[in-house]
Amino acid sequence: MTGPASAPDRSRRLILLAVGGLGVSAVMTQLVLMRELLAAFSGNELVFGISLGSWLLLTGAGAWLGRWISCRGAAGCAPDADHAPRAQPAAPLQRMPGAATPTSPIRDDGVAVPIGFLIAGLIAVAAIPLAQVVAVRVLRDVVFIRGAAVGVGGTVLGCLALLLPFCLVSGALLTLACALLARREGAPGIGRVYVADSVGSIGGGILFSFVLVPWFDHFALLCFPAFLSLLLAAGLAGHFHKRLLLASTLIVAAGLALHTMLIDADDVTTAVQHWGRPTVFRGNSPYGRLVITDDSGQLTFFENGVPVITTHNLDRIEETVHYAMSQRPDARRVLLISGGVAGTAREILRYGVGEVTYVEIDPLIIAAGRRFLPEYLADPRIKTVATDGRRFVQQTAGRFDVVIVDVADPSTAQLNRFYTAGFFAEVRRILNPGGVFAFGLGHYENYVSPELARLLSSARRTLQPSFARVRMIPGGRVFFLASDGPLSLDIAARLEQRRLATKLVRRPYLEAMLAPDRLADLDRAVAQPADPNTDLNPALYYYQLRHWLSQFTVRAGLPVGALLVLLGIYLLRQRALPRVIFASGFAASALEVVLLLGFQALYGSLYRQVGLVVTVFMAGLAAGAWMAGRRLDGWNALAATHAGSAAPPPLAGRMPPSVAADVRRLARAATAGLAEGRRPILSLVTSAATRLFGFRVALLHRGDGAQAGPRRDAASGRRHPAMPPYTIVLLLSLALAGLAVLLPCLLPALGRLDAIAGQGVVLLLTFLLAALVGGQFPLAAAAEPGEAAVTASRLYTADFLGAALGALLVSTLLVPLLGVAAVCLCTAALNLAAAAIAWRPATPS
């Protein structure tokens, strides 16, 4: 044990290390469970949004729960009251809200925050994720019908039930850590917890994506954060002399080590998950968890639970190949995007082509294909390329006679990129004159539902600007053929002319598939009104989502209405700053989705670059929070100079009336611009920038009766900021609104830059967005009155709830339905509204 003077510092470091370890564990657990839940519940964008939204919502609930634990027995702490009485400092502004005396140690004395809960929580964080993975794999077919798709209601309930334990514990631990540090450091301690959590998340994301996932299964991978959490728990237990908790930590660590050495949990649970079909391969890649099963000689490749490749599926292979290749039977160069491992590439070779370029994004699929299906890729004329298909099309200098896209339906934003007007134009560029482009969409048997009709109509309307001729073939899927040259539906005659023996695609089958009534059905379907599909207005995957939902009976009106009412009540009951944090949490989710969509559209889904975008976002959160903490140090020093003075420091948390008038005019200008639609975006940006600049100048140089400008400490000569935390939080909210308005203008312009410069701008915008969001939290903690635990809980809950709403709505509904520009404007309006409501006039001192 170190001396008395250094004991509090060591306690502080240990708690911050524990928060960093929690960040590592949280992000790695989240990534693993997202994969597992996608595997259990069909793997489309809605399932991803539900699972991510549930994670954030439950973590927010855990943060709210943490105030009750942290206030257990604490004097003056009333977690059930937003306006609880609190002890006042002897001198005005000597401490930030919730702060203890500057020299008070962090200890567990029955009145302070119980440190034992933090240690016990770290032990739970180590053990819970492994149990959750077991539950996802084992209980899916127990609770739901084996092999049947799970509807929205079941997905929501399943995600909430499975994620509940870890999220509640991790959210509560954040509040506990904030309360512990705030006892000695005040509100800056809450900011340091935020920074430590963000830094841990950065490390966990990098460790997961670039180091561990290619080499370890999910159980082995989760052992790394588990042992890290146990190590930190042991360090805290030893430092605070918690012998029982230290013994518990060592027992859990020993049990986990023995379990890892003696039992292959991944093998056992995978066998249960695919009961009845022997598993011949399982592995992880940065793109998902790959499992291969053998059902009487038929191999099925499951990526994140979705069957992506099935051998001996001659129906799909022949339709995918022969509808396109029969149009240009003398083709010499063919590009195949995905599907080659199943035998599609080998089937193309029957036309005597000189080269088939087969592009697959996941190198693990290619490696597994060479291992288990070597005959399908052995021909030297098949050239395999492990990269993103769209990225390949954007960069290749080659030209092709036929391009075949054999990917799944656009159920995610990633897949939707292969069905947009931008991609179709890129394919047209690499086709030789008269070349053919082909892809399949939907599943058509004998009836075109309204949802399928809109799907097909959108695809056709998207194709028509790039190709002079478009034909559709109603096979097992609806196959689209597009070309500037002639296209024929007399496919049987062409196959017979080349004497190609096929098992399914023969004259009797083709005559049935191309019957006049089926073709008439398709003509009626594509006559339905539908929006074309673009990268920044992905209408097609919204139609695909509606088509998927049409398989289930969904009565969401009452539950959704009840949730909206509860959300409204929650926001009405909150103070101004938590509402601002709620809006910024929504902006973080919404604008990050926009940036990722823009990045993928412009530069393809290069996994490591997209992972870099996410990493830069987390780094921006940490940097913003760190810079805000430094600002708080300066404000504390300024506040200390007014100790014992009757007057508050300049602009102490309140806005001059003339500045508030500027803000109200800005809000009215933004509202008017939104009401007029998308045309005045540039004028709105100009107006907003001018007013924000004027607002900044006014804050620095206009006092309205209060002393303005920075102050200089007489003893040290150090300049301290006159702008209080409350003011800066609202300024950051306005800056977020400005950035949201700018993004729809900036993203299309990036296409005119070279790839390196464009990616650099996207990363810079990502960092700026995250820094604005990250900077608000510590400052809001300093400006929000109340006990530290209550303040941290209130702000974390608002942040997670806003982010959850953004994650659930933006990528799954708002972007496909409204488009990127409208989503950005809605996000700007939300942040402007939150800031406008938070303005409060200056009061005379």
SS3 761: helix
406 has catalytic annotation: yes
| 243-262 and 115-143 helices, crossing angle to 10° | 30
What are the φ/ψ torsions at residue 434 (nearest 5 degrees)?
80, 5
Structure token pair of residue 299? 């191999």
- Rounded Cα distance between 784 and 790, Å, is 10
Residue partners of 349: CB distance under 8 A and separation at least 6:
356, 379, 381, 382
Catalytic residue selected from 406, 521, 662, 799: 406
Q: Let me know the angle formed at the C-alpha of 490 by 485 and 491, rounded to the nearest 5 degrees.
A: 90
Cα 752 to chain centroid, rounded: 27
Report how far apart, in Å, the C-alpha atoms of 424 and of each of 299, 460, 486, 534, 753 are.
Answer: 32, 11, 18, 10, 21
What per-residue string of b and e applies to 720-748 under the rule 16 or more CB within 10 Å gives b? bbbbbbbbbbbbbbbbbbbbbbbbbeebe
State the angle between helix axes of 45-70 and 788-809 in degrees (0 to 180), rounded to the nearest 10: 170
CA-wise closest residue to 69 among 2, 117, 21, 119? 117
Task: Read off φ and ψ for residue 437, nearest 5 degrees.
Answer: -115, 135
What DSSP assignment string belongs to 451-518?
A: HHHHHHHHHHHHHTTT-SEEEEEESSSEEEEEESS---S-HHHHHHHTT---SSSSHHHHHHHT-HHH
SS3 275: coil
Determine how many CB atoms are found less than 10 A away from the CB of residue 109: 9
Residue 135 CA to residue 14 CA, distance in Å, equals 32
420's CB contacts (< 8 A; 6+ apart) are 462, 533, 534, 535, 538, 540, 601
Residue pair 455/441 in contact by the 8 Å Cβ criterion: yes
Angle at 612 between CA 607 and CA 617, to 5 degrees: 130
Compute the half-sphere exposure of residue 824: CA atoms within 13 Å on the CB side of its CA: 30
What's the distance, Cα to Cα, between the start and end of the chain in Å? Answer: 49
Element (H, E) at 40: helix 7-40
The structure tokens 């929580």 sit at 121
Tokens of 98: 């919730």
Tell me the one-letter amino acid at 85. Answer: P
Which amino acid makes up residue 401?
D
Rounded to whole angstroms, the Cα distance separating 509 from 498 reads 18
CA distance 810 to 594: 9
Q: What is the distance between the alpha carbons of residues 769 and 738, in angstroms, rounded to a whole number?
A: 11
CA distance 459 to 470: 10
What whole-number distance in Å separates Cα of residue 178 and Cα of residue 77? 14
Encoded tokens for 48: 């991803």
**Residue 236 to residue 248: CA distance in whole angstroms:** 13
* β-bridge pairing 306-310 and 719-720: unpaired
Q: How far apart are CA 534 and CA 423, in angstroms?
A: 9
Catalytic residues: 406
